Amino acid sequence: MRLAFANRVVVLLAVVLLAACAKRPSPEQQAQGLAAFATVEKVFQHPRCSNCHIPGDQPLQFDTQVPHMMNVVRGPEGKGATGLPCLSCHGEANLPASYGPNAPPGAPHWALPPPDQKMAWIGVPAHELCAMIQDRKRNGDRDMEAMFKHVAEDKLVLWGWAPGGNRVAVPVPHDEFVKAFRTWMDAGAPCPQAQG
């Protein structure tokens, strides 16, 4: 009877070890994940994303990333200052072209990240950006599936591919970006090594 029990324990341990190994990405998958992250990084660092993902409290504007006019600031919830919320100028959608090329853009829930989770990545090295995306304390309390849903479906994120006016859209097609994000995730979300 002891031998049968010992055999069951050995078989159970073998199954657990095989399952753990099966979930661990292969070196090839990790290499593909790192290559995919380069695409993710390119999108996150583009002005359509990084103009609002700022280290300070004043958002940036245009492709040149100049400080937002009118002394606009993040505010206590990321929705602008009391008395001057983002929605004062930014509606649920871009204004018609007849308003001119520099009319305030719009998308649902236009805002900056809140001050306690700024998700600021302008000039952040790739390895730090990678760690930030995965850190729930710094990414809006999202696990990786929630992050994927955010970048794949959130209408404010999607605005970056149709910004209107004379704004340059994110240069990576959205479906390609989503595929790269998923490839990176499925490879265990590997982070590049720190340079230097």
Closest CA to 105 of 45, 168, 165: 165
pLDDT of residue 4: 66
- Which band of pLDDT confidence, cut at 50, 70 and 90, is reported for residue 102? confident
pLDDT of residue 82: 92
Q: Is the pLDDT of residue 170 over 70?
A: yes
